[in-house]
Chains A and B, each alone.
Chain A
Amino acid sequence: MGGAVPNPSSALPAVIALNRLAFGPRPADLEAGSSQPDRPDHRDWLARWLDRQLSPNDTDDPEVERHLAAAKLRIRYPAGDGWEAVDEDRPLACLGQPIESLWSLAANRPAVAGPERQRPRLEVAAATLIRAVHSHWQLREVLVDFWHNHFNVNAAGEPAVAAALPVYDRDVIRRHALGNFRAFLEAVATSSAMQVYLNNRSSRAGSANENYARELFELHTLGSGAYLNALYNRWRDVPGAVRGTPDGYIDQDVYEAARAFTGWTLEDGAGLGGDAKLPVTGRFTYVEGWHDGYQKRVLGREFDPFQSPMADGHRVLDLVADHPATARHVCTALCRRLVADDPPAGLVALAARVWTENRSKPDQIARVVRAIALSADFAGIRDAKVKRPLELVASFARGAGIDLVPTNPLLGELDGSGQRLFGWPAPTGHPDRMEAWLGAAAMRRRWGLLLGLAENRWETGAIDLAARFPAPLPAAAAVDRWQGILQDGQPEAATTAAILSGMGLAADVLLAPGTKAGDDRLRRVAAFVAMAPRFNQR
């Protein structure tokens, strides 16, 4: 399934770049590019596009603002013990809230109806769809999706994670998606969402909870490739460890790091001894009394006992952020997202070099992304990824010109497709390899998503057919035109033949837009073109 096929041409069609660095092209992106002297298949075009995209201007995203302000999701539940019945279309009211305002959704008392507890996840998912389809700042949206999976939390599980999700999305993931990894790591470590999800909030000196520390090493930073526990039992046996530069980590590093993070917790009302309790705000806090202050050793470095508050944890974050295995691991994941399931080693090495050289820069991540996007491998590899359902939905809406409005049924369909946004249970995040998305039932859901969007089954917005099909045209020409709109370049004859034969249409039968029969067929053709292998790969 590697499928990374080098292309002899160095020219990179914009459609390919925009399927990887954006949620697919809009027809206008392609037309605007090709009518100008700097054609979109030139490296210069991509470099300029990257310059703009890597310095996003939040005050300039009018379509997103319009959609976020107008969006409403249904919420309904019967009266229960402590609440009235609710049945209303409600704006995305959680999104701008601070954690203190949302944290009541996490508490056991007072009682809150289940749909209220799930509401923040649905709102962030709806906003994610809006941004994926409508944002100017497409590259940031792609990276936000990447980092949400890299630093995965499951907001479909514990209500407290759901309550913390809007803040996590806004102040942690979005704020740092193009920034500095070390700063990002600390924002994640101190986020309410991660504190709950990987249980660090309940970790205490004595027998620390290892959940966060383990996944910090294995998933967030050094990666399982640097987990050498099967080879070495003692820290000093790890090559390089006695010099303070171990090749990797073992369980002893996990144990010690877990101790370093004891006391990092949340204001969740937990008892402090006697009658004292933490306040109930959901905000991060540090409790010195819960911290294991004795000396530690992490990655071959000695930590003296009784450091200042949070210094042990900060030092662990410094060590893991700076480790060469982290550069390799995170850059492999970035290249896997942006280029190919099995990215070439040379590309990963290039990205890791840029990563390391810029590790103290505030735009470290942006620089790495730029290097990947302008690399020869990025231009040379084709069709090495299968679009995940979110990409499939967003790229279809963008290509077909649907002014997409998220609705509860669409979010439900996306959940059923295998990509329940912010609801993946394991800390790995959604898988990023082709095979994970091609289960039989999952494929069926992909087809259903495309057909449902094309036919506006979930009131997500109609395809503007009149703009693309001003006059009646032969069926074969209609299929070809949809191919041109959705995937640029020459239409594939086999796809046209397959769709016509499957629909039982002669090539020259006229499809008349504006009539019910004509419109029905033109919409279906759009969905069928998007079901062809070409649209599903990038």
Chain B
Amino acid sequence: MTISRRSMMRGGLAAGLGLAGCGLTGLPGIRSLAFAADASAGVGAEAPAGTLVVVFLRGGADMLALVAPADDPDYHAARTPDLRVMAEGQKAGIRLEQTLAPALDFRLHPDAAPLADLYAGRQLAIVHAVGLTDGTRSHFVAQDLMERGIAREEDLARTGSGWVARWLGEEGRGEGEPGRVPAIGTASAPAAALAGMGGALAVPDLRGGLAPPGGPQAAAVLAALYRQGDGSYERTARAALDGLTTVDGRLPREAGGKVAAYDAEGGAVYEETEAGRALQTVARVLKMDIGLRAACVDVGGWDTHENQQGRFANAVGQLSRAIAAFHADTQRYDRDLTMVVMSEFGRRLRGNRSQGTDHGHGGAMMVLGGRVAGGRLLGRWPGLASHQLDRGVDLAVTTDYRTVLSELIGPPAARSFPGFQGAPLGVLRG
């Protein structure tokens, strides 16, 4: 079993650093070890959530069309039926048991049925009215803030690294450890949340293998070309070669050398969608046992200013099925694996006349995994009456997005989210 080894390795690293930190205080008990891990930034410490998969819905997902109080008169007044989760009829949403606002009938979009199953199975928790406290409605500012783990625009200029890189204590390292890939992103460009982390690998797809093109000769030339040199190009190329070689070496191959088709567990079927391909890549790297602790996955298509109904239903269906496939495929990781789904903001409560919605504020986050105290809607529901809305138009943010992420990563949150303090919501089981 791979898990115990990974856990041991991490425990060992934490202990090593803990000892260094505790030299000052004498005998390290459990408490002081935990404190030391905090003070020394917790490098290598076991995160409460285990390996973390961060799914970022690019474009500002309309969470009010995904999870919403279907019987709320303010919701009805602001949106035409095509933009609502319905309480009844052919396209009725799926009712969620919840205590967030017991008087309201919260329902999930019908195309999110796989998520409703995970919710009912207490694997999935949803935090509503969550997001950035900053007032931006810009995709790119909001994404930047969240990926760097901050909440104020004036902090952008002085925060170059990503929150995941700081969590893993690996920002500023030129290269990773050979044979170890602590983090991956599944977009072609390196994930912003991993910025500053030399050992992070951007690998959209593994199906063609990752060996350098041109065979062993080209590989030897590339290794020699980038062997030295301190420029960022050389360092990045060296890390890329190491990471690519590590992952490629663990891809099972057919007799002819072709990369074998991925054999998912638990009857999982990944579709040929952005979410399906990306989560399959994550599962595959996770199972390589090369120390994966974080994966950043982008899923686009959520900027639904126009003709939202069909586009949103497709996007929700694809996402939900991909998440369900990943969950089935990685069952054996149980408490050692957690997924969080987030977006840069929610969308305007009121629809526009293009049958779409414009940029809004509060949204929702979803957390899935064996450690999650699921089957619950969490946070504080602010209501949808005009006076309850942010600036009179958008779902208010009553929970800072960092509250959720902090709980998932434990003490290193002090480094990932500098200056932020927030009491955990209890997303995870104790």
Contacts and interface: CB of A to CB of B under 8 A. Distances in A.
Given A209-B305, A499-B224, A438 B190 contact: yes
Given A230-B134, A435-B190, A436-B189, A443 B353 contact: no
B141 interface: yes
Given A436-B189, A439-B202, A441-B188, A533 B233 contact: yes
Interface string A498-538: 11011110000000000000000000100110011100110
B233 A386 contact: yes
Interface string A104-134: 0000000000000000000000000000000
A206 B306 contact: no
Interface residues of B, number: 65
B210 A441 contact: yes
B239 interface: yes
A504 B217 contact: yes
A1 interface: yes
B347 to A, nearest CB: 11
Contacts of B303: 211
A207 B217 contact: no
Interface string B205-244: 1000010111001101111111111011110110110011
Interface string A459-498: 0000000000000000000000000000000000011011
B140 interface: yes
Given A447-B222, A499-B221, A207 B350 contact: yes
Contacts of B210: 440-441, 444
Contacts of B226: 533
A527 to B, nearest CB: 8
Contacts of A444: 210, 212-213, 240, 244
Contact of A224 (B138, B205, B234): B138
Contact of B138 (A218, A417, A442, A504): A218
A531 B353 CA distance: 51
A536 B212 CA distance: 17
A278 to B, nearest CB: 15
A97 interface: no
Contacts of A426: 58-59, 139-140, 300
Contact of B305 (A199, A229, A503): A199
B187 A204 contact: no
A431 interface: yes
A426 B226 CA distance: 33
A407 interface: no
Contact of A502 (B58, B223, B353, B359): B223
Contacts of A431: 189
Nearest to B154: A230
Contact of A439 (B134, B185, B307): B185
Contacts of A211: 303, 305-306, 358
A436 B134 contact: no
Contact of A230 (B153, B201, B204, B355): B153
A408 interface: no
Interface residues of A, number: 64
Contact of B300 (A199, A209, A231, A425): A425
A437 interface: yes
Nearest to B135: A230
A119 to B, nearest CB: 22
A409 interface: no
A440 B217 contact: no
B353 A440 contact: no
B278 to A, nearest CB: 12
B353 A209 contact: yes
B139 A533 contact: no
A149 interface: no
Contact of A418 (B189, B227, B354): B189
B384 interface: no
B353 A206 contact: yes
Interface in B117-140: 134-140
Contact of A533 (B58, B237, B307, B356): B237
B44 to A, nearest CB: 23
Contacts of B240: 438-440, 443-444
A233 interface: yes
Secondary structure at the B interface, as helix, strand, loop or mixed, is loop
Nearest to A206: B353
A203 interface: yes
A202 B140 contact: no
Contact of B352 (A208, A417, A451): A208
A440 B213 contact: no
A210 B306 CA distance: 10
Given A3-B232, A498-B224, A440 B189 contact: no
B203 interface: yes
Contacts of B225: 495, 498-499, 502, 528, 531-533
A218 B140 contact: yes
Nearest to B196: A435
A114 to B, nearest CB: 15
B57 interface: no
A174 interface: no
B291 interface: no
Scoring A3, A218, A386 by chain B CB atoms within 10 A of each residue's CB, the highest score goes to A218
B202 A442 contact: yes
Interface in B348-375: 350-356, 358-359
Interface string B26-70: 000000000000000000000000000000001100000000000
A502 B221 contact: yes
Interface in A224-253: 224, 227, 229-231, 233, 251
Contacts of B202: 439-442
A214 B303 CA distance: 13
B195 interface: yes
B335 interface: no
Contacts of A502: 217-218, 220-225
B258 interface: no
Contacts of A527: 214
A528 B212 CA distance: 12
Given A386-B233, A436-B190, A451 B218 contact: yes
B351 A207 contact: yes
B203 A494 contact: no
Contacts of B188: 417-418, 439, 441-442
B336 to A, nearest CB: 25
B391 interface: yes
Contacts of B239: 440
B359 A441 contact: no
B132 to A, nearest CB: 9
Contact of A434 (B220, B232, B358): B232
A338 to B, nearest CB: 19
Contact of B213 (A386, A447, A501): A447
A320 B202 CA distance: 38
Scoring B58, B188, B234 by chain A CB atoms within 10 A of each residue's CB, the highest score goes to B188
Given A199-B356, A224-B138, A504-B217, A438 B224 contact: no
A428 interface: yes
B267 to A, nearest CB: 29
A451 B232 contact: no
Contacts of A428: 140
A448 B213 contact: yes
A486 to B, nearest CB: 14
A517 B162 CA distance: 48
Given A444-B213, A444-B240, A447-B222, A227 B141 contact: yes
10 contacts: A209-B305, A209-B306, A425-B58, A425-B301, A435-B236, A439-B202, A441-B210, A448-B213, A502-B218, A528-B218
Interface of B: 58-59, 134-141, 152-153, 185, 187-190, 195, 201-205, 210, 212-214, 217-218, 220-229, 231-234, 236-237, 239-240, 243-244, 300-301, 303, 305-307, 350-356, 358-359, 391
Given A203-B352, A233-B391, A440-B240, 14 more contacts: A203-B353, A209-B352, A209-B358, A418-B188, A431-B189, A439-B189, A439-B190, A439-B240, A440-B244, A444-B212, A447-B212, A503-B217, A503-B220, A524-B214
